[in-house]
Structure 1
Amino acid sequence: MILTLTLNPSLDRTIEIAALDRGAVIRAAAARLDPGGKGVNVSRALLANRVESCAVVPYGGHEGRQLVDLLSREGIDMITVPIAGATRSNVTLAEPDGTVTKINEPGTAMSAAELEAVAEAILDTAHAADWVVASGSLPPGVPVDVYAGLCRRFADAGMNVAVDTSGPALPIATAAGPALIKPNREELAEATGMALTCLGDVIEAAEKLRALGAATVLASIGPDGAVLVQDGGTWYGECPVAEPRSTVGAGDAMLAGFLAAGARGEAALVEALAWGTAAVALPGSRMPDPKDIRRDLVGVGRPDPERPLRSADR
């Protein structure tokens, strides 16, 4: 089983518009409300593909109850941890060419007791879990080393730990020795202080984070695909998207596919790219199911270090 932890979950409202025109009245073409948060999305993607998962979700206020209700309707197996503050709400504006504008609330503070309750909820289930995914932004006031501390505790309990976060929390968590980290291009550049202009730069940055402590680095590089660096090899893969609709949750779907396929080597990278690409072609933060996933479109092989990158993650 794969456990997921989202310290700062959300309600995600996605609004499809013809174009973003600042200062104008814009009529929406469509709108949807989804449960959000990186770990939540990983569990949703796993459920859609019949892989056993359990989401650990702190929640509070009316928005939190609505989040739990949405997850229950989807059939997500979850452990809920009540907190005093209110769950945040995020808004995404999606344009027809795949351009996405996100407005994310900061979330609400969590006390030390609430953080401990979340950790204990996972440790109580450790005997049944192969992986625990600690992911997403940190709520206001939560210590920046919280993922590092959780990583050590979960690893001591016998679980493989995957970390997907950003900012200062990423290198600090990496130094705690997680089995896997999944940065995007911007996060990889920030964590290493490198300018990433070609595949060779991405590989060098990934190796820096492996030297810092991560066993495996799965780096998503937007329209350029993904790079996997771990003991045993380095692989590069890409998969075309005919009609992109939303990138929200695509990285989470990628991580879910990678873990579902065993988190090792070329076959796992194929699965990661197939799931992530399928998510880009879906509206809002909808997660792909088997009918959406096209493994035959994925190309994976040894990377050409000189190959330039087209564009940065947005």
Structure 2
Amino acid sequence: MDSDTDDHASDEGAGTNAFVFAPSPLLTVTVEAAPNGGNELHVHPGGQGFWIGRMAAILGMDVHLCGPFGGEPGGILVDLIRREGLTVHPVATARDNGSYIHDRRAGEREVVVDVPPPTLTRHETDDLFSASLAAGMAADVAILGGPHCDEAVPVELYTRLCSDLSALKIPVVADLSGATLTAALEGGVSLLKVSHEDLIECGRAASEDLDDLIEAMKSLHEEGAGSVVISRAADPAIALHQGEVWEVEAPPVKPVDHRGAGDSMTAGLAAAHAAGKPIEDALRLGAASGAVNVTRRGLATGQRQAVERMVENVQVRRLRRDGA
């Protein structure tokens, strides 16, 4: 974590407790070109749950991450995640965590090795659910990230977790796609963030046309999402909240690495949601978090002061009321 992220808490995240469901923590190794012409080796935690949690911590939240950890990669991951300022609730597994090695010396990411996470056993799945429910009950907001691959955890775990946390009056913010998205909607979520590419790929949106995406948001709301936010890559994000459609436009910053922008947006949305901020404020913080992330190398990283200043440059506009 950047040294200056502990200076002062973001108004949106300060004092709030976030539970983050991370079903597939990854050990990541990236080879970069050093300024002197040599090589640099970067070893970090990874996986969507961790990336969301790291940005939530940068925004001032007290983040409690729950996930499966096993073998040598698992032990290293727990230590690395704690160094990022997150509290880890590890669930022991018999097999190693997933991992990857990427080579970025030529500028683009080249996959050298990709070790997928193992499928959890029945007992490991039960332990993960119990630990997650306990951490979620102590939180102001529960944030659900997706698995690295479909086989990592049973999708019905998302239905149960969303249903039980919602029944316990814990707001659920989810950033999911495909089968896990459908499963989470069955349990109910307070706020859903999803990319337009994922909606088109899984057949929930006919195209990237604005009207098609708005119809997709309405369907997602009817299936169990209280509010819906759709990220649209470089185009303005859109949102559906209480029958109103909003457009969210971040400044056109020059990207260094677009990866992690969506996870950063989810963290910003969750931080504001947990603090009880209006939807306009949540959308601004989410967009600002994503915009700052793309100016850096490293997924879901940034400086809190930069995010707070970026918020002032995000435009939020109401497009439609009551779907009209």
By the TM > 0.5 criterion, same fold? yes
Task: Find the counterpart in structure 2 of residue 311 from structure 1.
Answer: none
Encode CA deviations 1:259-311: one digit per residue, 9 max, x unaligned: 1112641111011000011111111225122133212331221248xxxxxxx
Q: Secondary structure at the match of 1:282?
A: coil
Q: Secondary structure at the match of 2:229?
A: strand
Q: Secondary structure at the match of 2:225?
A: coil
Mapping 1:199-278, distance limit 5 Å: 199-262=210-273, 264-278=278-292
The answer to whether the aligner puts 1:135 opposite 2:145 as a matched pair is yes
- Give the Å deviation of 1:201: 1.9
Task: Find the counterpart in structure 2 of residue 189 from structure 1.
Answer: 200
Mapping 1:1-314, distance limit 5 Å: 1-16=17-32, 31-92=41-102, 105-137=115-147, 138=149, 140=151, 142-262=153-273, 264-293=278-307, 294-303=310-319
Task: Find the counterpart in structure 2 of residue 310 from structure 1.
Answer: none
Asked if the contact 1:110–1:139 (Cα under 8 Å) also holds between the matched residues in 2, the reply is: no
Q: Distance in 1 between matches of 2:227 and 2:305?
A: 29
- Give the Å deviation of 1:104: 5.2
Q: Distance in 2 between matches of 1:144 and 1:42?
A: 20
Q: Secondary structure at the match of 1:124?
A: helix
Q: Distance in 2 between matches of 1:30 and 1:241?
A: 30
Identity, % of aligned pairs?
29
- Give the Å deviation of 1:238: 1.8
User: Given residue 150 of structure 1, which amino acid in structure 2 is its aligned partner?
Assistant: L
- Which range moved further: 99-108 or 156-165? 99-108
Over 3 Å counting, the alpha-carbon distance change for 1:166 and 1:91 in structure 2 is farther
Q: Distance in 1 between matches of 2:104 and 2:223?
A: 37
Q: Secondary structure at the match of 1:215?
A: strand
Q: Secondary structure at the match of 2:89?
A: strand
Q: Distance in 1 between matches of 2:233 and 2:114?
A: 20
Q: Distance in 1 between matches of 2:41 and 2:283?
A: 32
Q: Secondary structure at the match of 2:66?
A: strand
Asked if the contact 1:58–1:83 (Cα under 8 Å) also holds between the matched residues in 2, the reply is: yes
User: Given residue 255 of structure 2, which amino acid in structure 1 is its aligned partner?
Assistant: P
Asked if the contact 1:225–1:273 (Cα under 8 Å) also holds between the matched residues in 2, the reply is: no
- Give the Å deviation of 1:177: 1.6
Q: Distance in 1 between matches of 2:256 and 2:77?
A: 23
Asked if the contact 1:106–1:139 (Cα under 8 Å) also holds between the matched residues in 2, the reply is: no
Over 3 Å counting, the alpha-carbon distance change for 1:208 and 1:101 in structure 2 is farther
User: Given residue 96 of structure 2, which amino acid in structure 1 is its aligned partner?
Assistant: A
Encode CA deviations 1:24-64: one digit per residue, 9 max, x unaligned: xxx98755222111121222112112222211121111111
Structure 2: gaps of 5 or more residues: 1-16
Structure 1: gaps of 5 or more residues: 18-26, 305-314
Over 3 Å counting, the alpha-carbon distance change for 1:29 and 1:250 in structure 2 is farther
Q: Distance in 1 between matches of 2:141 and 2:221?
A: 19
- Give the Å deviation of 1:173: 2.0
Q: Distance in 1 between matches of 2:282 and 2:98?
A: 33
Q: Distance in 2 between matches of 1:264 and 1:29?
A: 46
Over 3 Å counting, the alpha-carbon distance change for 1:85 and 1:214 in structure 2 is same
Asked if the contact 1:8–1:139 (Cα under 8 Å) also holds between the matched residues in 2, the reply is: no
Over 3 Å counting, the alpha-carbon distance change for 1:14 and 1:141 in structure 2 is closer
Q: Distance in 1 between matches of 2:52 and 2:131?
A: 18
User: Given residue 299 of structure 1, which amino acid in structure 2 is its aligned partner?
Assistant: Q
Q: TM-score, normalised by structure 2?
A: 0.82
Q: Distance in 2 between matches of 1:95 and 1:176?
A: 44
Q: Secondary structure at the match of 2:177?
A: coil
Task: Find the counterpart in structure 1 of residue 6 from structure 2.
Answer: none
